[in-house]
């Protein structure tokens, strides 16, 4: 591991200012992703700003009837919150489908959104990877690509985003709240938060370097039957091959987002009008631009079958 310096910030403004002051600085929250990447020298921050003592660990109602989730709320606490379980069940289920109990106790809301891809070539520093070393090439294109993206990918990168939580937040239309070193705040719709890879796969979100996530807000509850179904190689402790987050009303109309298929949670709102006609009609539209590889074409029928199961479950509930 490369040497780094460390400080513990006492306020959100201090944390953002500390990252702005040090070239190559990063925030650290639960550390469950960043520390692994530092040990492999994939991430080499010069300075770590610990954000664990900022008091951003509460879940509070908003004036609009939704919930504000502090950036430091642990995944376990979010999944088990009574209001989340009752009104945003898709989010609770997505969180419980991720990682392990021990990891969820440490992992935070902001860190989960910002976790990096699990592409094996990204982790193997002997391999080319445009995300790790811009311009070096992509080991996965033409390599082993069973886990990789089938849609929204580019000639530079075919990685997927690994978060389960982010897929549920996308279907719920969450918003990400931030603050910068100069005190400026903004609200980023989750749809605009993660980026597709294009020619710059190393730039994964629309955040600026000194921009601290302070909270994620959820709009008022949608009602409906909410599900998160994750298909993976092992029953636990594995990332999604395909996942489906859905909110379905009694009339069969609803919303759906897919995980494990793209560089960001994949939701095509125009495809949702087809929900009452069944899964195939939805995925035909949602994956119209799909470019699977020889190893992962199975993800397209798998997405349809997974959504079929979710729709059937909603009908029989």
Instruction: Find which of ligand SF4, ligand FAD, none residue 17 binds, CB within 5 to 8 Å per kind.
Output: none
Which residues are registered as beta bridge partners of 266? 258
Q: Choose the stretch contacting ligand SF4; rule: CB under 6 A; options: 55-63, 153-161, 168-176, 237-245.
A: 153-161
Residues of span 52-71 touching ligand FAD by CB under 6 A: 71
Determine, following the binding rule CB under 6 A, whether residue 74 of this chain makes contact with ligand SF4. no
Regarding 159 and contact with ligand SF4 (CB under 6 A), the answer is yes
Among the listed ranges 84-92, 145-153, 159-167, 215-223, the one in contact with ligand FAD (CB under 6 A) is 159-167
* Secondary element (H or E) of residue 77: helix 75-80
Give the count of beta carbons closer than 10 Å to the beta carbon of residue 242.
25
Q: Which does 32 bind (CB under 5 to 8 A by kind): ligand FAD, ligand SF4, none?
A: ligand FAD
* Residue 121 is a binding residue for ligand SF4 (CB under 6 A): yes
- Closest distance of CB 219 from ligand FAD, Å: 21
Helix (H, G, I), strand (E, B) or coil at 47: strand
Neighbours of 293 (CB within 10 A): 19
Cα separation values, 241 from 133, 147, 168, Å: 25, 6, 16
Closest residue by Cα to residue 212 from 58, 6, 13: 13
Nearest to 88 by CA among 69, 74, 70, 102: 69
Helix (H) or strand (E) holding 215: strand 212-218
Considering only 9, 18, 33, 68, the residue that binds ligand FAD (CB under 6 A) is: 33
- CB of 60 vs ligand FAD, minimal distance in Å: 17
Residues that bind ligand SF4 (CB under 6 A): 117, 119, 121-122, 129-131, 138-140, 157-159, 201
């Amino acid at each position: 591991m490369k040497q780094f310096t460390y400080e513990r910030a006492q306020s959100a403004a201090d944390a953002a200012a500390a990252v702005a002051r040090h070239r190559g600085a990063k925030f650290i929250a639960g550390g469950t992703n960043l520390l692994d990447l530092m040990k492999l020298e994939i991430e080499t921050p010069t300075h770590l700003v610990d954000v664990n003592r900022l008091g951003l660990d509460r879940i509070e109602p908003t004036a609009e009837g939704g919930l504000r989730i502090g950036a430091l709320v642990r995944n376990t606490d979010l999944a088990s919150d009574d209001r989340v379980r009752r009104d945003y069940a898709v989010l609770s289920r997505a969180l419980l489908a991720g990682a392990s109990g021990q990891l969820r106790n440490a992992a935070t809301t902001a860190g989960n959104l910002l976790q990096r891809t699990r592409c094996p070539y990204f982790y193997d520093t002997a391999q080319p990877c445009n995300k790790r070393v811009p311009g070096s090439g992509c080991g996965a294109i033409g390599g082993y690509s069973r886990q990789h993206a089938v849609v929204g990918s580019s000639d530079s990168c075919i990685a997927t985003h690994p978060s389960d939580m982010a897929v549920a937040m996308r279907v719920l239309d969450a918003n990400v709240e931030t603050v910068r070193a100069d005190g400026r705040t903004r609200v980023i719709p989750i749809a605009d938060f993660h980026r597709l890879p294009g020619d710059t796969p190393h730039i994964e979100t629309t955040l600026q370097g000194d921009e601290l996530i302070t909270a994620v807000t959820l709009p008022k509850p949608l009602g409906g039957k909410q599900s998160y179904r994750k298909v993976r190689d092992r029953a636990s402790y594995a990332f999604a091959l395909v996942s489906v987050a859905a909110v379905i009303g009694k009339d069969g109309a609803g919303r759906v987002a897919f995980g494990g298929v793209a560089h960001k949670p994949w939701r095509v709102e125009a495809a949702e009008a087809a929900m009452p006609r069944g899964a195939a009609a939805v995925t035909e539209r949602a994956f119209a631009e799909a470019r699977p590889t020889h190893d992962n074409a199975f993800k397209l029928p798998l997405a349809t079958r997974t959504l079929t199961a979710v729709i059937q479950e909603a009908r029989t509930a």
